[in-house]
Amino acid sequence: MNAGFEEKSAWVQFGALVLVLGSYFLAATKMYSAGGNDIRAYVPVFSISVVLLVVTLIAGNIVAVATSKGDQSDERDRMIAWRSEYLSSWVLGVGIIGAICAMVFGINNVLVAHGLLASLLLSTLLCMGLRILFYRRGV
């Protein structure tokens, strides 16, 4: 089976997020371990990560478009997108509730911010993983 653009795009997003934001989290962990308790110290590293993520996504989607056969999005694509969003959104919700609880208990804002970012990342990875699964297995 030849993968269409939507599936290829999900693979691109999944890979780029793991590579770029995974690297960011490794760098942020090292910074925090070295005593980085000021959130402003993370802004340059995060900004570079966002730029790298955007460049990676653009390049990956250009390749996905170039290797796709001009297929149009259809009802199956919309159903897969909806279902994967529906099944993965709870991760973000739990992360938000956890961050609110952490703020109530006075947890360092660096940890709260990274907890929110981690929940967004995990939710998106689950969403893209489910899309890939649904394209491979069927809905």
pLDDT single digits (tens) 9-64: 999 999 999 999 999 999 999 999 999 899 999 999 999 999 999 999 999 999 99
Q: Which of 12, 22, 23 is nearest to 131 (CA)?
A: 12
Tell me which residue range forms the domain holding 118: 5-137
Q: Which of 70, 33, 38, 49 is nearest to 117 (CA)?
A: 49
Provide the domain count of the chain.
Answer: 1
The CA distance from 126 to 84, in Å, is 8
Type of residue at 104: V
Residues in contact with 121: Cβ distance below 8 Å, sequence separation at least 6, in sequence order: 17, 21, 25
Q: Determine the pLDDT at residue 2.
A: 63
The CA distance from 123 to 93, in Å, is 9
Q: Determine the pLDDT at residue 1.
A: 46
CA atoms within 13 A on the CB side of 8: 20
Answer whether 60's CB lies under 8 Å from 17's CB: no
Q: How far is CA 5 from CA 9, 61, 82, 138, in A?
A: 6, 8, 17, 16
Helix ranges, the chain (H):
5-16, 22-33, 43-67, 75-104, 109-137
pTM of the full structure: 0.90
Provide the pLDDT confidence category of residue 130 given band limits of 50, 70 and 90.
very high
